[in-house]
Amino acid sequence: DIILQRDVSEFIPYVLQLIALLLEIHRRSDDQLSPAFESLFSPLLQPPLWERPALVPPLVRLLVAYMSCKPGLFKPITTLETVLGIFQKLVSSKQHDIEGFNLLAGMMD
């Protein structure tokens, strides 16, 4: 949380990947998702994060992990529209089109 708040750019991709891994492991258990994990969800949808190319692959992995672990977070129409907008932006970019399809595949699971 401190690394994300202080915007330590060298470590953010690794932190996002570790959080995604924790969520992927959590998905296999029947436990409730911690409020700390839920509080990290909304900031992931903010456009400035998606402007940084190094963050796109770990952000996609993290969103897909949230989708499989806590699909209820994606029920509000505004959240779904935001994720679809992220998908559209990624697919329109030659550099990140594969990540857009990874996001779409995660939505279909």
DSSP string, the chain: -HHHHHT-TTTHHHHHHHHHHHHHHHHTS-PPPPHHHHHTHHHHT-HHHHT-GGGHHHHHHHHHHHHHH-GGGG-SHHHHHHHHHHHHHHHT-TTTHHHHHHHHHHHH-
- For 7-42, how does the pLDDT look when each residue is reduced to its tens digit (9 = 90+)? 677 888 998 999 999 998 887 666 678 888 888 898
- For 50-109, how does the pLDDT look when each residue is reduced to its tens digit (9 = 90+)? 999 999 999 999 999 999 888 888 889 999 999 999 999 999 999 999 999 999 999 887
**10 Å Cβ neighbour count for 15?**
17
Q: For the full predicted model, state whether its pTM sits above 0.95.
A: no
Q: Which two tokens stand for residue 32?
A: 């409730």
